[in-house]
Amino acid sequence: MDALSCPFCDAADVARVGQWGGQIITAQWQCRSCGSYFEAIREDFDDPQPASIAIDRRVEWIDTDAAGIYHWTSAFRLVEAAEAALHTALGVEARTFGLTPRVAVEADFRGPLRFNDAVRVELRVEDVGRSSVRYGFTLRGPEGVACEGRLTTCLIDPATRRATAWPR
């Protein structure tokens, strides 16, 4: 990313003082020259390729159905595992675990996955709202794309159980 400078006095002597700004994608900075606080896009979101992760799993026997291929709900468990891995990689899992109900999910099933197949689960942030995050996901197996779709979650406040903004 370009070197940050203070939006108030243009000094380059700035320091990141908080992991979070007003949104999940921002961090708080302070200018050491004039003392002003400002927000900037987090480095890990300041990328043409937004926050994403890929995890590798194997289709377990219990993931399959009577037809011998992965049960449709297995796809969502794999996506949720990737979501947990992404939040852990971003260091936000303590603030989000158990507090991000699913709002919407859609999936297109394009091919089979069978017991013991290696599957790569790719998850990427597509959109961040005030309290919601929409992910896109792709499951790839030995025969290529097996499933792709979208998942939308929102963050709720542990006390009120209502939607809340991403943490500061």
> Which residues are near Zn ion by CB under 5 A?
6, 8-9, 11, 31, 33-34, 36
- Select 31 or 121, whichever has its Cβ closest to Zn ion: 31
- Select 36 or 164, whichever has its Cβ closest to Zn ion: 36
Q: What is the dihedral of CA 90, 96, 97, 100, to 10 degrees?
A: -120
Residue 132's DSSP bridge partners are 154
The three-state secondary structure class of 36 is coil
Which is nearest to 30 in space by CA: 13, 51, 46, 44?
13
Minimum Å gap between C-beta 81 and Zn ion is 43
- Select 34 or 89, whichever has its Cβ closest to Zn ion: 34
CA 43 vs. chain centroid, Å, equals: 15
Minimum Å gap between C-beta 17 and Zn ion is 13
Minimum Å gap between C-beta 72 and Zn ion is 54
